[in-house]
Amino acid sequence: MLVELALLGRIEPEDSRAWFKGTKVVATGSGPLPDPLLQSHYDAIAAHPRQVQSLLVTIGSGLWEPLTERLVERGLLRRERKRVLGLFPTTSLPAGDIDHESALRERMHAVLEHGESPDARLAAIIALISASGTLPSLDPVPKWSGKAATRAKEFEQGNWGPRR
């Protein structure tokens, strides 16, 4: 939610310092947002600016279910219910649209391995994946390498410009 609001230009750091857990986030702009979930979080930030770390906990705690449901509705995930040992119900969420996932992985590969310039959304995705520590688990594409890790860390640190 925070990344999406930032990409829409609706939140920014309170001062010009880089984003980090001690930086307060303030609401900017006006007018309605295209999504009720975004709007509710924007309204909460507008009413009470908070530090990034606090917002991650506050906002993130209630997002799993509504966002997962949206991905299932859009066909990007499938919900599979099974029983383990015939007794214990489990639910998994494998990719529903493998073409979408493959295209995203290929774009990430082009950026991380070949130095292509990403759009803002892809740069944000790479930064989030790098910060979460899950980049190595995305093998085979983008291929895990020192070059990919270094490039991903650049995005994580906010360097989203073209690679020279």
- Whether 164 has a pLDDT exceeding 50, the answer reads no
Backbone angles phi, psi at 45, to 5 degrees: -70, -40
Q: What is the pLDDT of residues 45-77, one digit of tens each?
A: 999 988 888 888 888 888 999 999 999 999 999
Count of positions (residues) in the chain: 164
**Which of 3-17, 52-66, 141-155 shows the highest mean pLDDT?**
52-66
**pLDDT at residue 38 above 60?**
yes
Q: Which has the minimum average pLDDT: 11-15, 148-152, 157-161?
A: 157-161
| The overall pTM is greater than 0.85 | no
Which tokens hold the place of 15?
């001062």
Distance between CA atoms of residues 50 and 138, nearest Å:
33
Please report the pLDDT score of residue 19 as a whole number: 55
Percent of the chain with pLDDT over 70: 91
Dihedral angle computed from the Cα positions of residues 4, 104, 69 and 94, in that order, rounded to the nearest 10 degrees: -150
- Distances 130 to 60, 110, 134 between C-alpha atoms, Å: 18, 16, 6
Dihedral of CA atoms 93, 97, 100, 105 in degrees, nearest 10, equals 50
Phi-psi group of 142: left, alpha or beta (phi > 0 → left; psi -120 to 50 → alpha; rest → beta): beta
* Residue whose token pair is 């214990």: 88
- Label residue 101 exposed, middle or buried (CB < 10 Å: 0-12, 13-18, 19+): middle
Question: Which pLDDT belongs to residue 18?
Answer: 54
**The token pair that represents 79 in the structure block:** 């919900």
